[in-house]
């Protein structure tokens, strides 16, 4: 069997893993195998966390919009329905920002949503 000369590839790979594991506790930052397992686990959590972050922010935006809508006398679901009926296409991120930083602007959006709901009810009643 021919002799395999790995050049620097093996040490480079190990160095990369150990560099990523620096700051981990005890052997996880010193020994290659333990470091490799810890790094792979950490990368898996990071991948999962990037997806969870999107979910959590959307949930936060919905809570903020719902709270501001309640202050204006309308439920979250009715507010979103009213905006869609009025043809106002703002996403939840922007609506949450408006709710936090511009109460008067949000109040006007809530009034538009209420008016659109009332017009939709009137239209269905007459049909």
CATH number at residue 72: 1.10.1900.20
Do the Cβ atoms of 111 and 75 come closer than 8 Å? no
Tally of residues, the chain: 127
Q: What is residue 119's predicted lDDT score, i.e. its pLDDT?
A: 96
Range of the domain at 88: 11-126
> Does any domain span residue 6?
no
> Does any domain span residue 59?
yes
pTM: 0.81
pLDDT tens, N- to C-terminus, the chain (127 residues): 888 887 898 899 999 999 999 999 999 999 999 999 999 999 999 999 999 999 999 999 999 999 999 999 999 999 999 999 999 999 999 999 999 999 999 999 999 999 999 999 999 988 6
Please count the structural domains in the chain.
Answer: 1
Q: From CA 118, how far away is CA 114, in angstroms rounded?
A: 6
Q: What is residue 1's predicted lDDT score, i.e. its pLDDT?
A: 83
DSSP 39-104: HHHHHHHHHHHHHHHHHHHHHHHHHHHHHHHHHTT--HHHHHHHHHHHT----HHHHHHHHHH-HH
> Does any domain span residue 98?
yes
Q: What is residue 127's predicted lDDT score, i.e. its pLDDT?
A: 67
Q: In whole angstroms, how far apart are CA 59 and each of 45, 92, 108, 109?
A: 20, 10, 23, 20
Written as six digits, the tokens of 98 are: 């408006």
> Does any domain span residue 4?
no
> Does any domain span residue 121?
yes
Q: What is residue 38's predicted lDDT score, i.e. its pLDDT?
A: 98
> Does any domain span residue 1?
no
> Does any domain span residue 109?
yes
**Crossing angle of helices 76-86 and 103-126, rounded to 10°:** 70
């Amino acid at each position: 069997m021919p002799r395999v000369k790995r050049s620097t590839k093996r040490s480079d790979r190990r160095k990369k893993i150990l560099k990523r594991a620096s700051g981990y506790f005890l052997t996880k930052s010193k020994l290659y195998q333990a470091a490799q397992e810890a790094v792979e686990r950490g990368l898996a959590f990071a991948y999962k966390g990037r997806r969870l972050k999107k979910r959590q922010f959307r949930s936060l935006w919905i809570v903020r919009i719902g709270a501001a809508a309640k202050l204006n006398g309308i439920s979250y679901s009715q507010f979103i329905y009213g905006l869609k009926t009025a043809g106002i296409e703002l996403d939840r991120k922007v609506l949450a920002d408006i709710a936090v930083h511009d109460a008067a602007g949000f109040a006007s959006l809530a009034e538009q949503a209420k008016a659109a709901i009332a017009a939709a009810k009137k239209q269905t009643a007459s049909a």
